[in-house]
């Protein structure tokens, strides 16, 4: 398992009965987590003295209840600063477990010894974009949500990266890649964090089990002649590490060689030294 264990401003303190107790900077949140199927005593006082609690509804969705929590605050990871705000469906605007992937491709970029162009697809609020920019890459950031792209820009400003070479694009990722193929644009690294299900800005539908492999094959057409890395992250239960490994090995290795690794990613739980699983990632590199 790849564990995001270099955080100072974030920690999973404890987990029990379908929920996790987290510290986001100076604030404690309780949020649901479907992986937490165990029932252990909630002895940490944070369970009862938190700043925000997301309650899931039996009818789907849910709602937040706040206790002295600001509308927005920031936390940092190494050189990066992220603006956080609780919004619909339990999220805060950041997936801290992704830091293990940020560290991996940042080392690749820094040690490449040449200019690196990176494409970040389904790029959300830009955690991976900021990490790649900080490592020295030229980044194209693509997400179908205008609000998420604006949020990512705000994170870049907060991180002191606003003047770095980056393109911010609100677009359907599949249609964007198809146009890049026609334009002849190439990238040395591709990052993607596709949703299980989604809609593009013009109503395009995305179902990951049906769409992901053809999309990976499509993306190989915009990799440069000497690509550096390819990264897929998934929170979809059916896309286990072995599935990600098989897809990347089939679509990329025959064209470019290199090696493939795939693992669960996770976060350390500070109260007991165990690890909370948080999806899976597949990595290709030369």
State whether 123 and 265 are in the same domain: yes
What is the count of structural domains for the chain? 2
Query: Residue 212: which of 228, 180, 235 has the closest Cα?
Result: 235
User: Average pLDDT of 84-92?
Assistant: 90
Please report the pLDDT score of residue 203 as a whole number: 72
Which residues, in sequence order, are bridge partners of residue 10?
24
User: Average pLDDT of 255-278?
Assistant: 97
Average pLDDT, the chain: 95
pLDDT band at 201 (very low <50, low <70, confident <90, very high): low
State whether 223 and 111 are in the same domain: yes
Q: Which residues contact 22 (CB under 8 A, 6 or more apart)?
A: 10, 11, 12, 13, 28, 29, 30, 31
State whether 103 and 188 are in the same domain: yes
* CA 133 vs CA 69, 75, 82: distances in Å: 31, 18, 14
Range in 22-26, 170-174, 180-184, 234-238 with the lowest mean pLDDT: 234-238
Range of the domain at 142: 96-285
Out of 84, 116, 136, pick the residue that ends a domain.
Answer: 84
> Looking at the predicted structure, is the pLDDT value of residue 202 above 80?
no
User: Average pLDDT of 67-74?
Assistant: 96
Q: Give the whole-angstrom CA distance, residue 193 versus residue 143.
A: 10
Contacts 24+ apart (CB under 8 A), 33-41: 33/276, 35/276, 35/277, 35/278, 36/276, 40/14, 40/15, 40/16, 41/16
Please report the pLDDT score of residue 233 as a whole number: 96
First and final CA of the chain: distance in angstroms? 21
Out of 55, 84, 113, pick the residue that ends a domain.
Answer: 84
> Looking at the predicted structure, is the pLDDT value of residue 87 above 90?
no
């Amino acid at each position: 398992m790849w564990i995001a264990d270099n955080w100072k401003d974030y920690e999973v303190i404890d987990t029990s009965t379908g929920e996790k107790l987290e510290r986001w900077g100076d604030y404690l949140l309780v949020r649901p987590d479907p992986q937490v199927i165990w029932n252990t005593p909630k002895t940490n006082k944070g369970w009862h003295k938190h700043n925000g609690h997301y309650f899931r509804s039996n009818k789907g969705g849910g709602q937040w209840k706040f206790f002295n929590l600001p509308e927005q605050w920031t936390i940092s990871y190494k050189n990066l600063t992220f603006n956080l705000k609780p919004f619909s469906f339990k999220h805060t605007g950041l997936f801290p477990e992704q830091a293990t992937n940020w560290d991996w491709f940042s080392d690749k970029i820094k040690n490449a010894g040449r200019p690196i162009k990176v494409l970040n697809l389904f790029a959300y609020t830009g955690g991976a974009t900021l990490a790649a920019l900080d490592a020295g890459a030229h980044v194209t950031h693509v997400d179908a949500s205008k609000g998420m792209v604006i949020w990512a820009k705000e994170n870049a400003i907060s991180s002191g990266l606003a003047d770095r070479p980056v393109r911010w694009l609100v677009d359907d990722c599949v249609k964007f890649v198809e146009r890049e193929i026609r334009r002849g644009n190439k990238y040395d690294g591709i990052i993607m964090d596709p949703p299980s299900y989604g809609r593009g800005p013009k109503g395009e539908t995305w179902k990951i089990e049906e769409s992901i492999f053809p999309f990976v094959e499509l993306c190989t057409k915009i990799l440069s002649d000497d690509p550096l890395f390819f990264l897929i992250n998934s929170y979809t239960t059916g896309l286990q590490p072995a599935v990600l490994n098989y897809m990347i090995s089939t679509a990329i290795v025959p064209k470019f060689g290199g090696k493939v690794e795939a693992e669960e990613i996770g976060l350390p739980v500070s109260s007991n030294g165990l690890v909370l699983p948080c999806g899976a990632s597949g990595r290709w590199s030369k």
